[in-house]
Amino acid sequence: MICSIVPPYLLRRLAAQDEPRLRAVAVAAKESLLHIKELQAVRSAPAPAARPAARQARPGGPHRTIYDAQGVEQLPGKLVRKEGAAATGDVAADEAYEGLGSTYSLYADVFGRDSIDGAGLPLDATVHYGRLYDNAFWDGQQMVFGDGDGEVFQRFTKSLSVIGHELAHGVTQFTAGLAYRNQAGALNESMSDVFGVLVEQYFKKQSASEANWLIGEGLFTNHVQGVALRSMKAPGTAYDDDVLGKDPQPDSMDTYVRTSADNGGVHINSGIPNKAFYVVASELGGNAWEAPGQIWYGTLTSGTLPPACTFGKFARTTLATAEELFGAGSAEHDAVRKAWDTVKVRV
């Protein structure tokens, strides 16, 4: 399963541009769309079976390896940094290394999970992938980062939430195995957004009220009227730009988007469960990686989510997890119920 951070609908908008200053961007967007499609066709094998939800033995630390593709689309590329080695001086390589470490730390420190698969999976990443490559993705085995086109997107290692987001696809792959289509796919994307912001908040030691709840802050250049790819706090408000259009994410089932594009709207409709998580964190206050994160992580690793999970099934499982962890009628249980009511998902 290939999961990329930039939604296809944004790449299609860029691919359609014919202004002189955007011609190189349009070409880059077309190539990115074609490349993701080709990768998905090649890597169509089922994801590994879900693993038990039991807590692992004490994590032993990350095992990171960073490669440099040197502007071509071949993986993994030239080895430039191994675990424990000094910084390379290449900003993208060093950002990738640190981002992998920050992601590992969240799962290890907060959830007792040893890497992405729970069994110490080495964390590999390739930077400088392709030329003007407008994306970052998890390919089922490793992280891959483009440098952006310089006109719309900057380098994709610049955002810690993006690194956390993409690696979280790996966690979902090794746990619930949510299908990447329709509501299950939107939940897959949402889980990555949730853990992407938690990686960033845990690294910065930000409370729920201090955090900005943005996915991909800093990716856009100053030519773009927007702050990030998505906002969990206010889906549909991350950007409003002449080139990119307006952020299309809904924030409740009232505006759920029914579409066959983007695997049934996985990047668009993820705004609904994203908002639900934000409401839980906002209601409870404090650190979102604590009670809210434990509820969502417990749900993801519960072993009860079907691959074709719906929003309703996921919501009911979060309620059951909150009750198991904190008790019926607890503030945590009530916050979860209020969150799903807010986004109008029936439980």
Q: Is 221 helix (H, G, I), strand (E, B) or coil?
A: coil
pLDDT in tens, 315-339: 999 999 999 999 999 999 999 999 9
- Our answer to whether residue 166 is catalytic in this structure is yes
Look over the chain and give the mean of its residue pLDDT values, rounded to a whole number. 94
Q: Is 215 helix (H, G, I), strand (E, B) or coil?
A: strand
Question: Taking a C-beta distance cutoff of 8 angstroms, is the pair 272, 294 a contact?
Answer: no
Distance separating alpha carbons of residues 271 and 235, to the nearest angstrom = 5
Q: Which of 95, 267, 332, 333 is catalytic?
A: 267
Domain boundaries, the chain: 3-174, 182-342
Give the pLDDT band (50/70/90) at residue 40.
low
Q: Where are the alpha helices (DSSP H) in the chain?
A: 8-15, 23-42, 91-111, 160-174, 182-204, 262-265, 271-284, 291-300, 311-326, 331-342
Question: Taking a C-beta distance cutoff of 8 angstroms, is the pair 130, 150 a contact?
Answer: no
Q: Which of 31, 95, 151, 166 is catalytic?
A: 166
Rg of the Cα atoms in the chain:
19
Distance separating alpha carbons of residues 59 and 50, to the nearest angstrom = 19
Q: Respond yes or no on whether the N-terminal peptide bond of residue 46 is cis (omega within 30° of 0).
A: no
Q: The whole model's pTM is what?
A: 0.95
Distance separating alpha carbons of residues 346 and 326, to the nearest angstrom = 22
pLDDT in tens, 207-244: 999 999 999 999 999 999 999 999 999 999 999 999 99
The CATH fold of domain 3-174: Elastase; domain 1 (3.10.170)
The CATH fold of domain 182-342: Neutral Protease; domain 2 (1.10.390)
Token digits for 69?
């593709």
